[in-house]
């Protein structure tokens, strides 16, 4: 038995049975032996289910209350879960070319996860799938493990409120399935749901006369969970070190461990009951000589809102403040970093101790991503020298500061539509063109994806910052931060005793709307987004013609460029805004030198019933960002009314 098997046993034996990663739900048996839902019930549930390339989501709580902590999913949702599994079983058989492909199945720590998993486990077994049920697993963990199987089904609603749940599907490439396959899978699922006999089909798929195969799947759960932990630990080492060879990886982590002796680090984690409570975090971080301290570390003990945005990172900041006050003073006082993952553990934003202000502060999502890009581009040069064709793949609302960070490293920035799958697939396309795309992600949400990973991971984000802090100058080469300062003509800001405050002070200055702010959501009711954007074009062009002199005088806007992003395709200088359809639409403003200095952005969410907007402005003028976003909102609401009246 490996050390990780032992760690896993200790972690799981200490938690209450109700939160067990191999807990069984009897709800599915009760549902299909009782009063069944009507065909109409299933159709209503289907109509309120969001089916996007990034994942399928709905409020699975039987009460339909998104804040309900119930374990009950209800009959109609049980039918949906069963038919989702049926659609994926057919898909993975066709994709793998195998009669009995191996599929890993897991959940995050949401209360409805066990019942959804039970329904899907039954169907997958009935369809001849060789299922490895991991129980509770972090998203990056099951996706790392997917390289060892044929596919995966992951039950989670990521950062959504606790009553939500959903499903992500993947093959064996470490990420969710591509948009084209996701669309085909969604159509297959909907066709099953629209069969008049769909309820009876679901009942038959979920019913077992001989329960032995189902019992065996549960009995082997701990064994497969341990294998997933092993695979994830090895994969994380490869991702962070950018080394495939085990000996080379060990040399790299020895460097980190040695640096921690002279630059001690304490990491504070607010797990908020997430799936990462049963993952590698504690052992992995502690093994490098880094002090690790976690709160809310029992699986399922979700004590505050799930989304890792500033309003929820305050709990980590409070704990950091307590620890800092009791840590030893003087030269050996450690650097403090903290993180809080969302429920599936793939996203985690950062808290740090600001030495200058002597308080814990929450980094904004765009800052987290910017620091990660800075770190990994510098690390690419540190590892592999100058002779590289470097690239960065981001989503379209990522701040333009990324272009400014990439420029000193001669790296190109490529933009995709919002959606992790879009960014991952764009990076793959660019690698096929000869680019080294080590760092990618959705800067608007924080966190990062570090190749060869195909999903965000707070450990990779955390270690991007740690590499910046711990890989320092040697007689042979500059450390990462010194290299950035040199390339960005800021060497005067470098000192040997730098902190994260010093690094942040060298970032290009931009003011950007936070994705979780209330003003980042517009009250759009027009469901035809192409029609909405056509109306917005008319409103915007009229406003520009009326105000362009004022805009030039006040903010230096001399021209603009409309851009749309659909999937992995970016189209510049569009003349018809409606071609963006449900994708992202952006208006980039330029100064008299043709430099991009601000943008307005909009897109309907693919995973939530909201329309998102934001503004990005070069500089630190918060009033400018606020005024531009208000203008953007006003134009969008006028376009919404105009498009509805046209109907």
CATH of the domain at 352: 3.40.120.10
Alpha carbon distance 54, 602 (integer Å): 18
Are 482 and 582 in a shared domain? no
CB neighbour burial string for 62-99, b if at least 16 within 10 angstroms, e if fewer: beeeeebebbbbbbbbbbbbbbbbbbbbebbbebbeee
233 is a domain residue? no
Residues 397-413: pLDDT tens digits?
999 999 999 999 999 99
Are 160 and 197 in a shared domain? yes
367 is a domain residue? yes
Mean pLDDT by 10 residues, the chain (647 residues): 36 34 76 95 96 91 94 97 98 97 97 96 98 97 97 94 95 90 96 98 94 95 97 97 95 96 96 97 97 96 91 95 81 84 92 95 94 98 93 97 98 95 94 98 89 95 97 95 98 94 97 91 93 97 97 97 97 97 97 98 82 97 97 97 87
Alpha carbon distance 157, 408 (integer Å): 38
Last residue of a domain, one of 508, 527, 559: 508
Last residue of a domain, one of 508, 537, 560: 508
* Start-to-end Cα distance in the chain: 66
Q: Would you state the structure tokens that stand for residue 57, as one six-digit string?
A: 């989501």
Are 562 and 497 in a shared domain? no
235 is a domain residue? no
Are 261 and 179 in a shared domain? no
Q: Do the strands 50-52 and 102-107 form a parallel or antiparallel pair, or are they unpaired?
A: unpaired
366 is a domain residue? yes
Are 130 and 202 in a shared domain? yes
Q: Where are the alpha helices (DSSP H) in 163-268?
A: 179-193, 198-206, 212-219, 221-241, 246-262
Are 487 and 522 in a shared domain? no
Are 498 and 400 in a shared domain? yes
Are 64 and 185 in a shared domain? yes
What residue has token string 């939530």?
Answer: 608
Q: Would you state the structure tokens that stand for residue 488, as one six-digit string?
A: 């960005």
CB 325 within 8 A of CB 256: no
Q: Would you state the structure tokens that stand for residue 431, as one six-digit string?
A: 């690698």
Question: What's residue 332's pLDDT?
Answer: 59
Alpha carbon distance 241, 235 (integer Å): 10
236 is a domain residue? no
Which residues, in sequence order, are CB contacts of 554 under 8 Å at separation 6+? none
Q: Which of 564, 589, 584, 567 is nearest to 575 (CA)?
A: 564
- Determine how many CB atoms are found less than 10 A away from the CB of residue 191: 12
Residue 569 sits in a domain whose CATH number is: 3.30.310
- pTM attached to this predicted model: 0.91
Last residue of a domain, one of 193, 227, 261: 227
Are 504 and 523 in a shared domain? no
Beta bridge partners of 611: 522, 604
Domain count, the chain: 3
Are 495 and 526 in a shared domain? no
| Domain with 612 in it | 518-646
Residues 82-103: pLDDT tens digits?
999 999 999 999 999 999 999 9
237 is a domain residue? no
270 is a domain residue? yes
Which residues, in sequence order, are CB contacts of 559 under 8 Å at separation 6+? 589, 590, 594
Q: Would you state the structure tokens that stand for residue 10, as one six-digit string?
A: 């200790």
368 is a domain residue? yes
Q: Do the strands 348-354 and 265-270 form a parallel or antiparallel pair, or are they unpaired?
A: unpaired
Are 427 and 403 in a shared domain? yes
CB 138 within 8 A of CB 225: no
Are 445 and 492 in a shared domain? yes
């Amino acid at each position: 038995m490996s050390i990780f098997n032992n760690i896993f046993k200790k972690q799981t034996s200490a938690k209450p049975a109700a939160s067990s990663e191999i807990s069984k739900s009897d709800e599915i048996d009760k549902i299909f032996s009782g009063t069944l839902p009507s065909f109409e019930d299933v159709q209503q549930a289907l109509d309120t289910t969001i089916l996007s390339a990034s994942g399928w989501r709905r409020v699975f709580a039987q009460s339909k209350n998104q804040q309900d902590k119930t374990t009950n999913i209800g009959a109609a949702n049980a039918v949906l879960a069963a038919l989702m599994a049926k659609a994926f079983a057919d898909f993975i058989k066709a994709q793998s070319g195998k009669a009995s492909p191996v599929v890993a199945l897991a959940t995050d720590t949401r209360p409805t996860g066990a019942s959804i998993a039970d329904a899907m486990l039954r169907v997958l077994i009935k369809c001849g799938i060789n299922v490895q049920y991991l129980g509770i697993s972090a998203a990056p963990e099951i996706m790392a493990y997917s390289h060892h199987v044929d596919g995966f089904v992951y039950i989670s609603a990521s950062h959504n409120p606790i009553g939500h749940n959903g499903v992500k599907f993947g093959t064996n490439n470490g990420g969710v399935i591509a948009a084209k396959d996701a669309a085909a899978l969604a159509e297959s699922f909907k066709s099953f749901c629209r069969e008049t006999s769909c309820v009876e089909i679901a009942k038959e798929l979920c019913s077992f006369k001989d329960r032995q195969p189902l019992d065996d799947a549960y009995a082997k759960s701990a064994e497969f969970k341990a294998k997933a932990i092993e695979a994830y630990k090895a994969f994380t080492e490869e991702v962070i070190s950018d080394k495939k060879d085990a000996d080379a990886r060990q040399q790299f982590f020895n460097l980190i461990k040695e640096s921690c002796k002279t630059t001690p680090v304490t990491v504070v984690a607010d797990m908020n009951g997430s799936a990462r409570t049963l993952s590698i975090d504690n052992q992995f971080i502690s093994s490098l000589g880094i002090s690790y301290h976690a709160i809310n570390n029992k699986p399922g003990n979700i004590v505050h809102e799930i989304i890792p945005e500033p309003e929820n990172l305050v709990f980590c900041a409070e704990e950091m403040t307590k620890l800092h006050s009791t840590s030893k003073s003087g030269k050996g006082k450690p650097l403090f970093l903290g993180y809080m993952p969302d429920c599936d553990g793939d996203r985690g934003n950062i808290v740090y101790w600001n030495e200058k202000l002597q308080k814990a502060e929450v980094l904004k999502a765009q800052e987290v991503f910017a620091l990660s890009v800075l770190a990994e581009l510098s690390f690419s040069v540190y590892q592999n020298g100058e002779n590289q064709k470097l690239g960065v793949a981001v989503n379209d609302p990522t701040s333009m500061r990324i272009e400014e960070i990439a420029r000193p490293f001669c790296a190109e920035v490529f933009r995709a539509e919002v959606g992790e799958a879009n960014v991952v697939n764009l990076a793959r396309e660019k690698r096929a063109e000869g680019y080294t795309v080590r760092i990618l992600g959705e800067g608007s949400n924080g966190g990062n994806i570090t190749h060869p990973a195909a999903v965000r991971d707070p450990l990779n984000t955390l270690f991007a910052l740690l590499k910046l802090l711990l890989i320092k100058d040697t007689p042979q080469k500059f450390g990462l931060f010194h290299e950035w300062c040199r390339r960005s003509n800021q060497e005067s800001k470098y000192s040997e005793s730098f902190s994260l405050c010093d690094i942040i002070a060298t970032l290009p200055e931009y003011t950007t709307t936070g994705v979780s702010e209330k003003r980042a959501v517009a009250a759009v009711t027009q469901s035809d987004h192409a029609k909405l954007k056509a109306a917005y074009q008319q409103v915007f062009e009229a406003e520009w013609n009326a105000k362009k002199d004022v805009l030039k005088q006040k903010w230096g806007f001399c021209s603009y460029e409309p851009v749309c992003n659909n999937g992995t395709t970016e189209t510049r200088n569009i003349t018809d805004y409606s071609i963006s359809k449900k994708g992202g639409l952006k208006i980039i403003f330029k100064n008299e030198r043709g430099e991009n200095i601000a943008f307005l952005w909009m897109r309907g969410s693919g995973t939530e019933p909201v329309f998102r907007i934001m503004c990005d402005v070069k500089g630190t003028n918060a009033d400018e960002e606020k005024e531009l976003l208000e203008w953007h909102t006003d134009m969008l609401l006028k376009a919404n009314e105009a498009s509805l009246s046209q109907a």
